[in-house]
Amino acid sequence: MDSKNALGEYLRARRERVRPEDVGLSGGGLRRVPGLRREEVALLAGISSDYYLRLEQGRDRNPSVQVLEALARVLRLDASATTHLLSLAQPERPAVSRRRARRTEAVPASVRELLDTWPGHPSYVQNRFTDCLASNALCRALSPNYRPGVNLLRAVFLDPAERELRRDWEELTAEGVATLRGHIGPDVDDPRLVELVGELSVRSDRFRLLWSRHEVRPMLGRTSLLRHPLVGDFELRSNKFEIPGTDGLNVVVFHAEPASRSAELLGLLGSLAASGDTPREQSPRTREEAARLDEEG
């Protein structure tokens, strides 16, 4: 991750993911690298090959919006990826100035209170690096990793129990990395990000692959497919809401479809959490109750 040439890295990574036939070119001939050649991108974007080379090499970091939009069309970028491309080409500001301008990362007391007023909805607060900063009891019953101090992205990639919980682990990890890139934007030299990316790149082959793709996605809600050790298989929907006046903190709230089997199992999990049962232990009674709901569902 080279903060001094974030634009060039992004262009190169996205170029390598576009097939010639995707843009109406012949895919024949010997190609030493995947995707489009630099001169093909330049031709399709209506710029010179030398100028495009300077962009990828970081020798020209202030292209016009028109050039960037033309490159976005050639590289088949969606709206979120195009916005990310434009942000990487903004005139650079010193990293120290960016960090001084940030607002607080403390979770407002009113938000902490709000989480506890949702006993039937697992809820937590995370920062832009996916560090969990606050959570309610039902969320911690969903996974012990939803507790303050845990980095959720690290947990998803490195904790075997978390991977076992996630039936949609492949999709979740791809979304998580792309969302992180989108949320960080051009601030790739932040020490917290450098530390996290460095650790996961060393310890996880999948993270290293996903990070190299430079995919970007907006921070949206999703449907999570879970296999909980206490109550079995169910699914939860989630929505994310940014907390005004903070440095990109978000509240994430889970819910099950009303009157569904998932809602019953979430209610069962809530009862177990209220009684003090831990999520890694499953009594015979719990297994029987989950089995009954499974048969009825």
Question: Which has more confidence, 20 or 134?
Answer: 134
Higher-pLDDT residue of 284 and 243 is 243
Rounded CA gap, 165 and 273, in Å? 17
pLDDT of residue 30: 66
CA distance 231 to 262: 10
pLDDT at residue 3 tops 80:
no
For the ranges 99-113, 215-229, 235-249, which has the lowest average pLDDT?
Answer: 99-113
Specify the pLDDT at position 104.
56
pLDDT digit string, tens, across residues 172-218: 999 999 999 988 877 788 899 999 999 999 999 999 999 999 999 88
d(CA 45, CA 72): 9
Can you give the pLDDT at residue 291?
A: 46
**Residue 281 confidence (pLDDT):** 42
pLDDT of residue 287: 41
More confident residue, 278 or 142: 142
- Between 266 and 79, the higher pLDDT residue: 266
Residue 285 has pLDDT above 50, yes or no: no
- Highest mean pLDDT: which of 161-165, 179-183, 221-225? 161-165
Q: Tell me the one-letter amino acid at 183.
A: H
DSSP string, the chain: --GGGHHHHHHHHHHTTS-GGGGT----S--SSSS--HHHHHHHHTS-HHHHHHHHHTS-----HHHHHHHHHHTT--HHHHHHHHHHTSPP--HHHHHHT----SPPHHHHHHHHT-TTS-EEEE-TT-BEEEE-HHHHHH-TTSSTT-BHHHHHHH-HHHHHHBTTHHHHHHHHHHHHHHHHTT-TT-HHHHHHHHHHHHH-HHHHHHHHTT-------EEEEEEETTTEEEEEEEEEEE-TTSSS-EEEEEEPPTTSHHHHHHHHHHHHHHHT--TT---HHHHHHHHHHHHH-
Whether the pLDDT of residue 290 is over 50: the answer is: no
The β-bridge partners of 234 are: 226
pTM: 0.78
- Model confidence pLDDT, tens digit, residues 16-74: 989 888 888 876 566 777 788 899 999 999 999 999 999 999 888 789 999 999 999 99
Over the chain, what is the mean pLDDT?
A: 86
pLDDT classification of 245: cutoffs 50, 70, 90: confident
